[in-house]
């Protein structure tokens, strides 16, 4: 059984925040922002503690965005042992119960012995419509990146529920490009951020991809 932080440890860690942070170096506006968004602070503080009290800095390592596009670097704690249903529920609370996404869990089985781990991921947006997901995969190979599993994208959605607002865009779809066969077609999984809702969907690999789609990769060596 995995050991979690005890009540005594949590009090000690909270005390470390209170006594070891250089509060004089933090501007008033930052304190106001934290006070106004305690839930967001809690999510970020949780990631900070999960990473052993260290700030993770990930360099782009020469990754070149596609022409007219952009990239975003994120970290998220991913649990590949999680059941498909639990992962989809956490990532897409507004997902319809009769949608095809629930049917493909067997295509992406959990890894029973996997432990939660911190993943560094690259999100890529082309800034335009592209013909299919194949174009995104080609870009990833050129940058020495590989597509992530659906559970990575689900974890990002769970831990960054306001990702579209963070990126300064109204709507976005976030894709995991590991394919599976569904109703005779090669398909991929999406998380759709739309009007404060998050939905998990599955759609065809070979259809046009819109300008608000973000494709998720990790380094080949990961």
Cβ count within 10 A of residue 100? 13
Reading the block at residue 114, the tokens are 């996997």
Is 85 within the bounds of a domain?
yes
Reading the block at residue 150, the tokens are 């659906």
Please determine, for residue 57, whether its predicted confidence score (pLDDT) is greater than 60.
no
Provide the residue count of the chain: 222
DSSP bridge partners of 192: 173, 199
* Enclosing H/E stretch for 175: strand 172-182
- For residues 36 and 192, the model is more confident at 192
Question: Where does the pLDDT of residue 47 fall: very low under 50, low under 70, confident under 90, or very high at 90 and above?
Answer: low
What does the pLDDT average to over 98-106?
95
- Note whether 16 and 104 are same-domain residues: no
- Note whether 106 and 188 are same-domain residues: yes
Domain tally for the chain?
2
- Note whether 120 and 192 are same-domain residues: yes
pLDDT tens-digit readout, 134-160? 999 999 999 999 999 999 999 999 999
Reading the block at residue 7, the tokens are 């009540």
Please determine, for residue 1, whether its predicted confidence score (pLDDT) is greater than 50.
no
- Note whether 132 and 208 are same-domain residues: yes
pLDDT tens-digit readout, 70-98? 999 999 899 999 999 999 999 999 999 99
Distance of CA 32 to the CA centre of its chain: 27
pTM for the whole structure: 0.74
- Note whether 94 and 176 are same-domain residues: yes
Is 106 within the bounds of a domain?
yes
Closest by CA to 156, choosing from 73, 84, 33, 95, is 73
Is 86 within the bounds of a domain?
yes
pLDDT tens-digit readout, 160-171? 999 998 888 888
The domain of 119 spans: 70-219
112: CATH: 3.10.100
Helices (H) and strands (E) in the chain, counts: 7, 7
Residue 44 contacts by C-beta under 8 Å, 6 or more apart in sequence?
none
Please give the DSSP secondary-structure letter assigned to residue 132: -
């Amino acid at each position: 059984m995995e050991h979690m932080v005890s009540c005594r440890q949590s009090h000690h860690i909270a005390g470390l925040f209170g006594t070891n942070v250089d509060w004089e170096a933090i501007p008033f506006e930052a304190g106001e922002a934290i006070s106004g968004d305690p839930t967001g602070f809690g999510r970020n503080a949780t990631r900070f503690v999960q990473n052993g009290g260290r700030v993770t800095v990930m360099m782009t390592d020469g990754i070149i965005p596609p022409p007219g596009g952009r990239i975003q670097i994120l970290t998220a704690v991913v649990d590949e042992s999680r059941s498909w249903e639990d992962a989809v529920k956490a990532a897409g609370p507004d997902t319809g119960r009769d949608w095809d996404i629930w049917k493909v869990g067997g295509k992406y089985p959990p890894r029973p012995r996997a432990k939660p781990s911190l993943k560094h991921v690259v999100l890529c947006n082309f800034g335009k419509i592209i013909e299919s997901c194949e174009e995104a995969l080609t870009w990833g190979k050129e940058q020495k990146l590989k597509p992530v599993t659906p559970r990575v994208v689900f974890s990002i959605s769970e831990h960054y529920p306001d990702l579209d607002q963070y990126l300064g865009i109204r709507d976005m779809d976030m894709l995991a490009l590991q394919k599976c066969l569904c109703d005779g077609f090669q398909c991929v999984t999406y998380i759709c951020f739309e009007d404060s809702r998050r939905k998990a969907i599955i759609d065809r690999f070979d259809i046009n991809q819109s300008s608000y789609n973000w494709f998720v990769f990790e380094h080949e060596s990961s």
